[in-house]
Structure 1
Amino acid sequence: MKKHNFNAGPAILPSSVLEKASQAVLELESTGLSILEISHRSKEFVDIMERARDLALELAGLTGKGYQALFLQGGASLQFYSTALNLLEHKGAYIDTGTWSHKALTEAQFVGNIDIVASSRDNGYRNIPTSYTIPKDADYLHITTNNTIYGTEYFEYPEVNIPLIADMSSDIFSKEMPFDKFALIYAGAQKNIGSAGATLVIVREDILGKVTHKIPTYLNYQVHIKNQSMTNTPPTFAVYTCLLTMEWLKKQGGIKAIEAKNKEKARILYEEVDRNPLFKGYADIKDRSRMNVVFNLTNESLTDRFNTLWSEAGINGIKGHRSVGGYRASIYNALPIESVQLLVDVMKHFEKTV
C-alpha cells in the first residue's frame, strides 16, 4: 500500500509522473531505449531538456525577460558556492534564517567577504527578520525563501537595488511570486520540481561576467548557458521527471491554482496544531511555512504513543529534523489534501486516547 508521504525531500511526486517516469525507464516514447540509457545528445533528450528549460521560465513568468533556465547537478549545496563565485566581487550580503541559509553564507566565505545583515538564529530561527541595512558595497543580497527545517517562509521580499538571489528549494512553484524581482534563483528539484539529482537555476544574464577572478568551467553559469545545460552529461532521468512534474503543474491550472490548494492544506493542519492541546507550533505564526509544518508535543513522554498511531495509519516522513525535534509535515505540491486530513484525524484521535 502506498504510504502518505510527508518527507521533506526527496519528496512525494504526482502519481501520473511516477507512472510516466516508470514507463520511460523501460522505454522512452517509442525510442526503443530507456531514459536511463538514452544519449543526452540524442534528438529526443535534447528536446526534453529544451522543453524543461522553456517550461521553467514559462511557469515563473520570465519568458523573454532576459533570463535563462539551467538544469545542473550538485543540489542547492553546490549553488551556495557557485552563486558567490559568479557574483561576489566586493561583498555578499546574506540574511540568515536557518540551516541552509547559514550553509550558503559559510560557502560564500571561501570566495570573498560576506556580511550577515540579519539573522534569526538567536530566536531558534523561528521568524523572518524584517529590519536590516544592506552595505553600500554589497554585490547582491542572498535569502532562503523557505526554511525547511524550522518551518518559516518569506511572504514579502526585500526591496533592494542590487541583485536579489534566492535559494527556493522548498517553495518554488508552490505559490505566485514576483520572480522578476530576483536576479538569480536556484532550487534542488527533489521537493516541488521533480526527483533528486537535478538542480534548477534561473539567472538573469545581465548580472553575469562582472567578476574579475577566474571561475572554474563547471561552476561558470555563462558556460552552462552557452552549452544549454549540456556542459557535461546531465542527469537525464532527473531532468525528465522535472519536465513531467512541471507539465503536471501546468495541467493543474499552474501556480495560481496550486497555491490555492497549498493554502488550504496548510490551513487545515495549522488549525489542528493550534487547537489540539497536545501540540504546539514551532515558528512564529506570521512567518509559518505553507510547505513545512513544524510542531512539537507539549508532553514529550507521549512521543512513542503518537509515533505508533501515525505509523500505523500509513503516514511516513513526519519526524522532525534532529536540530528541532518534534515533527515536520512537508506538504508540497503533490501531496493530496486527503493525506493532510488523515494526519489531522490521527492527531484528533491521539487527543481522545490520552
Structure 2
Amino acid sequence: MQQNQIEMQVLKKHNFGAGPCILPGSVLQQAANAVVNWNDSGLSILEVSHRSPEFESVVLKTQLLIRELLNVPQSYEVLFLQGGASTQFSMVAMNFLQGRACGAYLDTGYFAQKAIKEAKLFGKVAIVASSEDKDYSYIPDHFETPSDAAFLHCTSNNTIEGTEMFSFPETSAPLICDMSSDIFSRTINVRDFDLIYAGAQKNMGPAGMTLVIAKNEFLNSVKHALPSMSDYRVYRDNQSMFNTPPVFSIYVSMLNLLWLREQGGVTGIQLKNHKKSELLYEEIDRNPLFYGTAMPAHRSKMNITFKMHDPSMEAEFLRFAAGHGVVGIKGYRTVGGFRASLYNALPLSSVEFLVQVMQHFEKEKTMVYSMGTQIAGS
C-alpha cells in the first residue's frame, strides 16, 4: 500500500474500541435528532416521561425486537436493568445462590474472575474449570458440574483475552451466561440457557442499560426476600419500570436493533462478522511482526487480541496506526499488546484498512532492517 493511499483515509476514524461500541451512522443521526426533538413532539428524548405512552411503546418495541432477533420463547422474560453487567455478578448470586449448596463457575478470564469474586459474598463457589494455566488463551471443555450446583455460570466471550465459546456445556444445572460482548453477533439457542445477561455497550447500544433474558420458571425458583432493586421478579412484574429506566440507552438500542434487522438479522450479521475476523486473523498469522494470543480453535470473532514478536515496537505501531486514523486497538492494561474489536456496526472496509496499515508497517520495518544490514556489511 502506497503512503499517499493511506493518507487519503486519515480523515476517517476506524474505531476498534472494546466499548462503548461503534454504532451505525444512521443510528447516531436518528439519536442526535431525538435529543433535540423526539418524533416532532417538541421534547427531547432526554426529558420525556418514562411513564408516557410514547416511551412505553419504545420499551415494548425494543423487547419485541429482541424476541424476534434472538427467537426468545414466550416462557422467557426480556428485562432492562441498570448497573451494567458488573452488577449482574452480585445480582445473580444474590438471587440464585443464597441458601443453596454452591454456584458452579467456569473461569475463562478477567470478567469471569470478577463474577466469581462477587458470588463468594453470597455462598459457596465451585470453579469447575479454569484456563488460567495458559494465560486464559483457551476455553476449557472437559469438566463436570457438581450435582448439587444451584447453577453453572459461564462467559461466552472474553473481551480482554480474545477467546469465545462456540458451544455451551450440557449440564443438569441451570445455565447462566454473561454474553455482554457477543450477544446479537451470532445465533444462539436461548432455550439452552436459564438466564442470559449482557451490558448494552458492545453490540446493542450505549452504556447505561443491561439486558436480561430469563426463564420465568427459573425466576420463580427464588423464594427468599431480596432488596427490590436486586430482585429480577420486581423488574418482571413492573415491565422493567420499577424505577426510572435508562431511557436514552433503551431508545438507541431500539434504533440499533432495527438497523440489525435490516442487515439480515443475527444470521446476516454473523456472516459479516465471520468475514471480518477471518480477514484480520489471516493477516496476523501471515505478518511476521505479529502473533495471535488466543489458541486458534478458541479465537473470538468479536475481540481479536495480538502482540508483536518485538515488544519494543508496539508503542511505535500504535502511533503509526493512530496517525492513519486507526483508534482503539491498544490492548487491555493488564495484558498489553493489541485488541481490535469487530462489533456489528464496524464495516469490513475498516478491517481491510487495518490490515493495510499492518502491511505497510511491515514494509517500512523490512526496509529499515534491509538498509541497516547493507550499511553494516559495507
Does the pair score TM above 0.5?
Answer: yes
The residue that corresponds to 1:215 in the other structure is 226
Deviation at 1:212, TM superposition (A): 4.2
Aligned 8 A contact 1:40 1:233 in 2: yes
Distance (Å, rounded) in 2 between the aligned partners of 1:248 and 1:139:
38
List alignment gaps of at least 5 residues for structure 2. Answer: 1-10, 366-378
Distance (Å, rounded) in 2 between the aligned partners of 1:287 and 1:256:
20
The residue that corresponds to 2:337 in the other structure is 326
Aligned 8 A contact 1:93 1:141 in 2: yes
CA RMSD of superposed structures (Å): 1.0
Deviation at 1:63, TM superposition (A): 3.8
State the AA in 2 paired with 1:105. Answer: I
Deviation at 1:244, TM superposition (A): 0.6
11, 30, 48: which one aligns with 1:20: 30
- For this pair of structures, how many residues does the alignment match? 353
For residue 208 of structure 1, give the secondary structure of its aligned residue in structure 2: helix
The residue that corresponds to 2:45 in the other structure is 35
Deviation at 1:178, TM superposition (A): 1.6
Aligned 8 A contact 1:198 1:238 in 2: yes
Distance (Å, rounded) in 1 between the aligned partners of 2:25 and 2:172:
42
State the AA in 2 paired with 1:277. Answer: P
288, 292, 304: which one aligns with 1:281: 292
Deviates more, 1:274-283 or 1:79-88: 79-88
The residue that corresponds to 1:3 in the other structure is 13
List alignment gaps of at least 5 residues for structure 1. Answer: none
Matched, 1:234 2:245: yes
TM-score, with structure 1 as normaliser: 0.98
Distance (Å, rounded) in 2 between the aligned partners of 1:179 and 1:252:
21
| Superposed counterparts of 1:42-57, under 5 Å | 42-57=52-67
The residue that corresponds to 1:142 in the other structure is 153
Aligned 8 A contact 1:192 1:333 in 2: yes
Deviation at 1:209, TM superposition (A): 3.1
State the AA in 2 paired with 1:196. Answer: A
For residue 340 of structure 2, give the secondary structure of its aligned residue in structure 1: strand
Deviation at 1:2, TM superposition (A): 4.4
Deviation at 1:211, TM superposition (A): 3.5
The residue that corresponds to 2:306 in the other structure is 295
172, 178, 183: which one aligns with 2:183: 172
The residue that corresponds to 1:86 in the other structure is 95
For residue 212 of structure 2, give the secondary structure of its aligned residue in structure 1: strand
Sequence identity of aligned pairs in percent?
52
Aligned 8 A contact 1:86 1:209 in 2: no
Aligned 8 A contact 2:147 2:173 in 1: no
1:236-292 deviation per Cα after TM superposition (whole angstroms, max 9, x unaligned): 000001111111101111011000000000000000000001000000010000000
State the AA in 2 paired with 1:104. Answer: A
For residue 353 of structure 2, give the secondary structure of its aligned residue in structure 1: helix
1:54-101 deviation per Cα after TM superposition (whole angstroms, max 9, x unaligned): 21122111142x001111100000011111112112211000001001
Aligned 8 A contact 2:73 2:191 in 1: no
Matched, 1:182 2:193: yes
Aligned 8 A contact 1:317 1:329 in 2: yes
Any runs of at least 4 consecutive aligned residues in structure 1 with deviations exceeding 3 A, and if so which? none
Distance (Å, rounded) in 1 between the aligned partners of 2:190 and 2:220:
22
109, 113, 116: which one aligns with 1:105: 116
The residue that corresponds to 2:164 in the other structure is 153
Structure showing greater radius of gyration is: 2
State the AA in 2 paired with 1:188. Answer: G
State the AA in 2 paired with 1:90. Answer: A
Matched, 1:252 2:260: no
For residue 29 of structure 1, give the secondary structure of its aligned residue in structure 2: helix
Aligned 8 A contact 1:25 1:34 in 2: yes
1:99-132 deviation per Cα after TM superposition (whole angstroms, max 9, x unaligned): 0011011111111111000011121000000111
Matched, 1:310 2:347: no
